[in-house]
Amino acid sequence: MPSNVESAQKKELAGLLKKGSRTEYGKRFGFSDIDDFEAFADKVPMSTYDDIEPYIERMKKGGKNLIWPGRIHNFAVSAGTTGKGKHIPLSEDRLRSDQRFMRKVMFSYMSQRPNMLPFFMGSHVSLPGNIERLDPGSNVRLGEISAYLAKLSPGWLSLFQVRSPQTMIREEWTSKFDRTLEKAVRSDVRKMVAIPSWALRFFQRALELTGKKYIREIWPNFRLLICGGEALNTYRPHFNQLLEGLNMDYIENYGASESYFAFSDDLNRSDLLLTVDNGVFYEWIPNPKETKDNLLQQKTVPTWEVEKGVPYALVVSSNSGLWRYLINDVIEFTDTGQPRIQVVGRVSEIFDKFGEAVESHEAQSALEKSAEQTGATFSVFTMGGLIDPEIGAPRHFWFVQWVDQPDDPEKFTKLLDENLGEINRHYYNRRTSMGIHPPVILDLTKNAMYKWREKHQELHAQTKMPRIINDEDKIKDMIALCRATDQDKVRPDQT
């Protein structure tokens, strides 16, 4: 007998193929003749946005039955700001799946906190993105997925919102943030929905605005934070500090413009339950060490054949017309029966300027191990490298936002160097040959981080701080911003 995961995923694949067989894409690759996963993986190539962009451009001009049945008017912007970046189609089937996903999240929470419903009669804060028409008079709409969900939220929910989601999805980001904050500090806020970095900024600005030290002094009944788009655990130390004295619950959603995939179904765990019955069929590329182009030629395994502890690149087919589409995340399974996952890095986040090929999840693992060894705690970090003009040689610069700084910065830097060398052989070889000089760690204050983000990123609801910075000018600017504050300390060179 197949497992529940296997039967659910096979049912999803069959349903997707049946609908997709009526499209131009489905006819091109013979969907009607495919009856199992092996045939699907054999006949249909893996894809990236570049492969489907011609279909999407035709869809925006009125084309129908191209990659999903019917005509699609809504598109989620997955990078850049509205009107730029990748435009992922949002079919009506996909939007209904998103609504089901959010109901699963809330039903799961209420089953764990059955007495909490009266508590949430206070105010709620959300920070959705915005939606715009492609052109004046056009019926094609572009926006962030959070804005579409806000638009689809039931009317009664607006009664509890600090500000109406229907109003916020039409506002420019900075204005939306400031107006919501100003009203929130005068309200009895009990729940917030935002990506972690914006939630953190919201809390910090609320304290600055009110002159308080802890969030409990502003919102004594605050209880629930729902996050997605970034790893919640990265920000937990800061949240625990700012929200001290509050009996907090955290829910993390793992999703993207392409779909929602997993969520916190157990408040006592940090891994996430993969949703296997909601319009998405998953495939997994084990040990994704290749370049993105090479990954597209690799063999995949279905969810019922994955193993615990193995890093996988994620490939999805969905009811928005994505077929064997490579997602940029690296995933590990903590449980294959449920199944449960954790996001450990990004496929394309890699620093390879000096032949070291350091991936973001390797950088994070080295930093986490060094922190554990020294009793330090950090939240946000990013790294990059350049030829240091002071020594005329390559070196890495790490920008770390500390919760608890290491007592011995020199020891921490040495440990980070050693730990990354143990994880990444290329880095080890270049360090031992002095092809790369010892790393430098700079304190990434919140002001330095937000000044850098305002200058180098288009700010919106899903803007994320990169783990890897490859642009040399952006690295130089980050170095200058970190060194410009009195609190920042450059770590001594370890030779």
Nearest to 449 by CA among 206, 204, 249: 204
Higher pLDDT among residues 416 and 457, named by residue = 416
Q: Is 490 a residue whose pLDDT tops 80?
A: no
In 296-420, beta strands by DSSP E: 301-302, 312-318, 325-335, 340-346, 350-351, 358-359, 377-388, 393-404
Nearest to 273 by CA among 455, 112, 136, 439: 112
Residue 489 forms part of a structural domain: no
For residue 51, CA distances in Å to 80, 134, 222 come to 19, 21, 45
- Give the pLDDT mean for 386-409: 89
Same domain, 200 and 269: yes
Q: Give the pLDDT score at 344.
A: 80
What does the block give as tokens for 24?
A: 């131009």
Same domain, 267 and 356: no
Q: Is 493 a residue whose pLDDT tops 70?
A: no
Same domain, 418 and 289: no
SS3 199: helix
Cross-strand bridge partners of residue 87: 77
SS3 392: coil
HSE-up of 385 (CA within 13 Å, CB side)? 21
Q: Domain ends where: 292, 326, 346?
A: 346
Split at pLDDT 50, 70, 90, the class of 488 is very low
Same domain, 25 and 163: yes
Residue 245 belongs to domain with CATH number: 3.40.50.12780
Contacts (Cβ under 8 Å, ≥6 apart) of 57: none
Residue 10 forms part of a structural domain: yes
Residue 77 forms part of a structural domain: no
- Phi then psi for residue 264, to 5 deg, are -75, 110
Higher pLDDT among residues 177 and 460, named by residue = 177
Nearest to 361 by CA among 349, 377, 378: 349
Same domain, 178 and 295: yes
DSSP state, residue 186: T
Same domain, 257 and 341: yes
Under 8 Å between Cβ of 47 and 312:
no
Same domain, 242 and 323: yes
Q: What is the mean pLDDT of the chain?
A: 88
Same domain, 335 and 187: yes
Asked if residue 438 has a cis previous peptide bond (ω within 30° of 0), the answer is: no
Nearest to 119 by CA among 193, 213, 219, 253: 219
Q: Is 492 a residue whose pLDDT tops 50?
A: no
Split at pLDDT 50, 70, 90, the class of 48 is very high
Q: Is 397 a residue whose pLDDT tops 60?
A: yes
SS3 325: strand
Q: Give the pLDDT score at 302.
A: 98
By CB atoms closer than 10 A (0-12, 13-18, 19+), residue 268 is exposed
Q: Give the pLDDT score at 82.
A: 37
Split at pLDDT 50, 70, 90, the class of 358 is confident
Q: Domain ends where: 324, 346, 368?
A: 346
Residue 90 forms part of a structural domain: no
Q: Give the pLDDT score at 47.
A: 95
Q: Give the separation between CA 407 and CA 428, rounded to whole angstroms.
A: 26
What is the separation of C-alpha 301 from the centre of its chain, rounded to a whole number of angstroms? 23
Residue 36 forms part of a structural domain: yes
Q: Give the pLDDT score at 255.
A: 87
HSE-up of 73 (CA within 13 Å, CB side)? 11
For residue 394, CA distances in Å to 162, 430, 472 come to 50, 10, 12
Same domain, 22 and 116: yes
Domain that includes residue 375, residue range: 350-483
Q: Domain ends where: 346, 373, 407?
A: 346
Split at pLDDT 50, 70, 90, the class of 245 is very high
Of all residues in the chain, the percent with pLDDT exceeding 70 is: 92
Same domain, 277 and 337: yes
Angle of helix 409-423 relative to helix 360-374, nearest 10 degrees, comes to: 140
Q: Is 46 a residue whose pLDDT tops 50?
A: yes
Query: How many domains does the structure of the chain reveal?
Result: 2
pLDDT in tens, 285-313: 998 876 666 788 899 999 999 999 899 99
Q: Give the separation between CA 440 and CA 437, rounded to whole angstroms.
A: 9
Q: Give the pLDDT score at 67.
A: 98
Contacts (Cβ under 8 Å, ≥6 apart) of 212: 206, 218
Q: Give the separation between CA 283 and CA 194, rounded to whole angstroms.
A: 28
Q: Give the pLDDT score at 303.
A: 98
Contacts (Cβ under 8 Å, ≥6 apart) of 357: 350, 351, 424, 426, 427
Residue 138 forms part of a structural domain: no
